[in-house]
Structure 1
Amino acid sequence: MTRIASVNVNGIRAAARKGMNAWLDSSDVDILTIQEVRGTREHLESLLPGWHVLEHESPQKGRAGVAIASREPAVAHRTDLGIDPLDADGRWLEADFAIGSDVVTVVSAYVHSGEADTPKQEQKWSFLDAMTVRLPQLADGGLAVVTGDLNVGHREFDIKNWRGNRKKSGFLPRERAYFDRWLAPLGQQTDCVDGTVGTGLGFVDVGRTAAGEVDGPYTWWSNRGQAFDNDTGWRIDYHLATPSLAERVEAYRVDRYPSYDTRWSDHAPVVVDYRLG
């Protein structure tokens, strides 16, 4: 069994100060994907002693950044998503791991938050388009999972206040339609929420499959008001697995913090056990 966890740390140094390492020491994770590192490889290595660390650092100091930390080293890694580096740097990292007789590709992804009808949203469309091209290529390898903060609530189950956010980035119909296509059965024509028709890519939303047709479980809560205490959250952190890997899921959980004052990020870790090796 291999345990893969993903979390947007909202700054690796701040998360470490607030208690991230205590969670990591007790969680028995084999591979940890990290988003919004906001730091350097040196920061990661000093805060994660004993781990093998890969990072795709953002050229904008103190912004974005993705990483993968693992107990055993990866056999290969890549960062090129095939789009303008300004749209992708610090947001996409793939690593291949040899686990017994299996080779699995693990992706740490941090999609732009976007802002409707602004250039920020154009960057987000570009990134989602590039993911749509890359996902089938990953699926060709068999065992692959895209993890991380994808900054879209796919369905009404995925955001508590979905009615009030239908015109805001993160829950726009066009954004959600990408997920309709990614998660529809491979090759199947599917009616998307934005009125378009697309071809399914066959990926599996591990979290929704595990939880069923229920609200949440949410993975991010605004710092404003009583969002965390009232569980007024969003499920925007995912494990999207190829069908062959999804069949090997043993357990799924969101490590929601016990209380507001024990949080070390505004996102909670998403932890999945896969039968590998």
Structure 2
Amino acid sequence: MVANADCDVVCLQETRAQEHQLTDPVFHPEMYHCYYFDAVKKGYAGTAVYCKQEPKKVIRGLGFEIADSEGRYIQADYVGLSIASLYLPSGSAGEERQCRKFHFMDDYMRHMKSLRKKRREFIICADWNICHKKIDLKNWRSNQKNSGFLPEERQWLDELYDEVGCIDAFRVVNHEEDQYSWWSNRGQARANNVGWRLDYH
């Protein structure tokens, strides 16, 4: 699939595998330099980036525990440009995981603010595990108290876009409703397009 897409860079989140397990050629498509960042816990989280052009440098992790132990960030650096794959934790499993998600968000916001001082362009392909606006999920009314659409999470994205200066590239070119990237396995969510847009670029 990746080999046929003719992409310059492919960013993956939630790879759920250790790199030594990925011996099948499907995980190392021709024409790509493939880089993985695994979670310490086997079968959990993880990120990857596939690059047609070999990067000058690959950075794994962000220097804080949640990101680094769970393999949640990998970055490919080129001259004047960095492309990152990020997988923000989900808080849907309970209060403890939601607190962990908030800690990650705080640490990552500090990181993003520090990047403003660098003379580089950044493309961040992220599974935020957050829907930003009402347009980004089908049943927004019934999800306002659920992880992924909490007021604090949405305000965090407001700050990321309005103050830090990030751009939701998808919404720059697509303002249509019913554009989602995740659907529950329950019921007929995918068939009925009852989804969430959790993935942003």
TM-score (structure 2 length as normaliser): 0.90
Task: Specify the alignment match of 1:223 in structure 2.
Answer: 185
* 3-state SS in 1 of match to 2:149: coil
Q: CA deviation at 1:36?
A: 0.8
- Percent identity over the alignment is 34
Partners of 1:236 and 1:225 lie apart in 2 by 20
Partners of 1:87 and 1:41 lie apart in 2 by 15
| Alignment match of 2:142 (pick from 143, 160, 164) | 164
* 3-state SS in 2 of match to 1:73: coil
Partners of 2:70 and 2:185 lie apart in 1 by 27
Q: CA deviation at 1:162?
A: 0.6
Partners of 2:74 and 2:192 lie apart in 1 by 34
| Alignment match of 1:206 (pick from 156, 162, 169) | 169
The structure carrying a bigger strand percent of its residues is: 1
Partners of 1:136 and 1:216 lie apart in 2 by 32
Unpaired segments ≥5 residues, structure 2? none
Task: Specify the alignment match of 1:152 in structure 2.
Answer: 130
Summarize the Cα distance change of 1:54–1:25 in structure 2 as closer, same or farther, 3 Å threshold. closer
Partners of 1:224 and 1:157 lie apart in 2 by 21
Aligned length: 197
Task: Specify the alignment match of 1:89 in structure 2.
Answer: 70
Task: Specify the alignment match of 1:235 in structure 2.
Answer: 197
Structure 1 position 108 matched with structure 2 position 85: yes
CA contact (8 A) 2:73 2:84 kept: yes
CA contact (8 A) 2:18 2:43 kept: no
Partners of 1:27 and 1:86 lie apart in 2 by 29
CA contact (8 A) 1:45 1:53 kept: no
Q: CA deviation at 1:65?
A: 0.5
Structure with greater contact order relative to length (CA < 8 Å, sep ≥ 6): 1
Task: Specify the alignment match of 2:51 in structure 1.
Answer: 70
TM-score (structure 1 length as normaliser): 0.66
Structure 1 position 41 matched with structure 2 position 4: no
Structure 1 position 127 matched with structure 2 position 104: yes
Partners of 1:61 and 1:116 lie apart in 2 by 18
Alignment root-mean-square deviation, CA: 1.9
* 3-state SS in 1 of match to 2:164: coil
Partners of 2:91 and 2:59 lie apart in 1 by 24
| Alignment match of 1:182 (pick from 149, 153, 160) | 160
* 3-state SS in 2 of match to 1:55: strand
